[in-house]
């Protein structure tokens, strides 16, 4: 089980996969390669093994249109005329948006979405339930961090990742 990464693409049988901010795209379990798919993995700009811009404050680098163009550039760079896109977690959102934008071009043959939240409302209901399963000290810590809006707190990320993994394993 993994959590985090973004799209992968598959071409007769080939796949490309991009990753979440914190987890490299190669973190994905090797089920598709074992099934005979040729996989291509990439990490989005600023993520894991990818280039990190010197000026991270340039907000034009962190937009959905720019991420969509990045997926298209990877497709073109690999010469994928027909492929299947696998979107995992954030990549599911990116994959859906890519499919909507490029649906009439004929390159994308299918989209596979994995471990993605399509409804923030449903996710919030679910996350409230699983947070209640945390030990009391961790639950209080998470609640305090959320009240303070300290989303970048390393302790918060650690607790959340361990909790997600426990929940979905």
- C-alpha 41/C-alpha 159 separation (Å) is 27
Domain with CATH 3.40.50.1820 in the chain: 7-114
Average pLDDT score over residue span 85-101: 87
Assigned CATH for 7-114: 3.40.50.1820
* Token representation of residue 84: 């299947």
Average pLDDT score over residue span 106-123: 81
* pLDDT for res 38: 78
Q: How confident is the model at residue 167 (pLDDT cuts 50, 70, 90)?
A: low
Q: How confident is the model at residue 148 (pLDDT cuts 50, 70, 90)?
A: very high
Residue with tokens 């959590």: 3
Stated pTM of the model: 0.63
- C-alpha 143/C-alpha 163 separation (Å) is 14
- Give one DSSP letter per residue of 40-54, joined into a string: EEE--TTSTTS---S
Greater confidence, 23 or 134? Answer: 134
Radius of gyration of the chain (CA): 17
* pLDDT for res 169: 56
Flag whether pLDDT at 93 surpasses 90.
no
Flag whether pLDDT at 42 surpasses 90.
no
Three-state DSSP at 165 gives: helix
Residue with tokens 């394993």: 169
Q: How confident is the model at residue 36 (pLDDT cuts 50, 70, 90)?
A: confident
- C-alpha 15/C-alpha 37 separation (Å) is 7
* Token representation of residue 52: 């990190």
Average pLDDT, the chain: 76
- Give one DSSP letter per residue of 64-121, joined into a string: HHHHHHHHHHHHHHHT-SSEEEEEETHHHHHHHHHHHHHTTSS-EEEEEEES--S-HH
- C-alpha 125/C-alpha 162 separation (Å) is 19
Flag whether pLDDT at 140 surpasses 50.
yes
CA 20 to chain centre: 4
């Amino acid at each position: 089980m993994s959590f985090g990464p973004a799209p992968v693409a598959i071409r007769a049988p080939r796949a490309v996969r991009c990753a979440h901010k914190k987890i490299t795209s190669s973190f994905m379990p090797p089920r598709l390669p074992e099934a005979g798919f040729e996989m291509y993995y990439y990490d989005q700009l600023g993520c894991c093994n990818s280039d990190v811009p010197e000026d991270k404050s340039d907000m034009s680098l962190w937009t959905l249109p720019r991420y969509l163009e990045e997926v298209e550039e990877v497709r073109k760079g690999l010469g994928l005329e027909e492929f299947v896109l696998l979107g995992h977690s954030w990549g599911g959102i990116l994959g859906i948006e890519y499919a909507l934008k490029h649906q009439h071009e004929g390159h994308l043959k299918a989209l596979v979405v994995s471990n993605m939240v399509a409804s923030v409302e449903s996710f919030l209901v679910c996350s409230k339930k699983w947070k209640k399963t945390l030990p009391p000290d961790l639950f209080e810590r998470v609640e305090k961090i959320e009240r303070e809006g300290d989303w970048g707190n390393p302790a918060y990320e650690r607790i959340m990742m361990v909790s997600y993994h426990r929940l979905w394993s």
